[in-house]
A and B are shown apart, each in its own frame.
Chain A
Amino acid sequence: MKKGLEFKGLKFLYIVIIAYIVLFFIEQKNALLSLQKALDIFYQLLPIFLFIILIMTLINYFLRPKQIIKHFGKESGAKGVIYALLAGIISHGPMYAWYGMIQELREQGAKDSLLITFFYARAIKIPMLPFMLGIFGLAFTLILSFYILLFAVIQGVVMDWLEE
């Protein structure tokens, strides 16, 4: 039998839809406002979805399990950590938009510790840096970025230790 599409988070979506329906009957104004905010977020995410499809296509095409294991696998060493940090820094959009791709990497043999490092390094948002600099200044931005990268690596080390 051919396997159909396996949607993720259907139950979660149903719960949110029910929450909106309940909210609509209790506070119609806020329900509509919430829906408007959600739609605004969705429209903002559309270009990011295209970017993610592009990245995932490139990964599917160029990165084979052997190559991924080489960079993110058990023998990847320090090079894997550097790849994870760089990937985290250059990735865009909200974390949940990347879940599918990350799970795919896991299934292809990527190390959990490097994925943890990747996730934390995502806290550095390159497009947002000018904004952060404007509000918090150069010293704060540099120090915060340094500690984010340091703790991204530390988290990976701890995750490795937890998995042993």
Chain B
Amino acid sequence: MNRLTADQARQLAARVVALTQADAAETLVISADDSLTRFADNRIHQNVTETDTRVSVRAVLGNRQGVASTNRLDDESLAGCCADAVAAASAAPADPEFPGLPSPVPVQTPVRAAEAAAGFGPEQRAEVALGIVRQCSSRLIQAAGGVASTLQTVAIGNSLGVDVGMETTSVRATVLAQSDRGGSGWASFFGPDPAGLVADALGDEAATLAQRSEYPADLEPGSYTVVLAPEAVADIVDFLGYLGFSARSFEEGRSFLSGNLEKRIMSELVTISDNACAPESFGLVFDYEGMPKRRVPLIENGVATSVVTDSYWAARTGRENTGHALPAPNAFGPMTLDLMMGAGDSTLDEIIGSVERGVYVTRFHYVNAEDPVPVTLTGMTRDGTFLIEDGALATPLKNQRFTQGAVAALNAVKGVTSERAFFDVMLGSALVPGLLIDGWEFTGQTG
């Protein structure tokens, strides 16, 4: 069974909508080829591929809803899935706040499926892994990481006429380089195709950082000026989206934006939007109800400006539907999946050069939230943490634990890099710069 084209997926969605004996129905089709080559200890140890097509049906009876899904695509199974959705809706109590399925809105779907990604097979992934491993093994450094490709087709149809479909591709590569002298380095690539993926350069970046970070030293816990490389910033921005940018958390008083719209809550250097339609994006341009994803300014020069919605939370709050629905049934509310933080005008090197004493962080590890409203996060640094002295990276440091409010940290931003990079994060992707932040709280270090 092959991955469906956008037209095939739209036709399947329409067929399943027609099969559903309900007042209204919506079908989501996700068809994907996912492949991944993993390496560790300078050898490939895992190499997998998967093809699957999943159909999810939302049946509506009056203002009651039920959802069922299957990956069996024969007529009998699809009919059974539709019947399960209808049975679920029949059992549900009436929901007076359900606004009904959304009506169609025109969606312009750009071509975001790269042919080069489709030809990126196991031999090509192995070649990338080999290039990375050579850079590391020649320096007696152990390489680990992965080379992955995703070819995905998503289509949504509903009985009111929504009929959208789109193919996307992505390629991801990661490199962890580790020396037996305590050095650890990291490099990553995330893009729509393998065109920008240069294995030797990626391996060299990680291996050089690993060599540079050998024999790490202790750091006293305390408040430090930090320079966060873009990948570290991606984790922070990701949690802002998870905890605060949704109309649901806003309305329930659980967001740092609750009661703060039109107020300055972050540094004026901070501008954040959600924008799936930006030319550099390579994801879906419609949400999981088939509504166009709109660019939503969330923080503009430090001022809280807006939240994202889906059809339910738009109707409930009287806001515009910004096109941020997750697949039904959605217990989380609308979510940002394409966050972008504005760039500054200084290079990363210039920002490091401006710091008399501070800490440079390549990336974070295992970040989690301890307090939702201030977005208090804890996590560890990883794969290249350095003391900054007199404007240059100095002593490598052991991995540090931080316990820090993200909103407070973004209110203490003193510099933003001109370089930005895409990362795949917990919620979709994020395009972020590096940041210079005052008063970052390190609360411990690894043993």
A and B part of one assembly: no
B residues near A (Cβ < 8 Å) are none
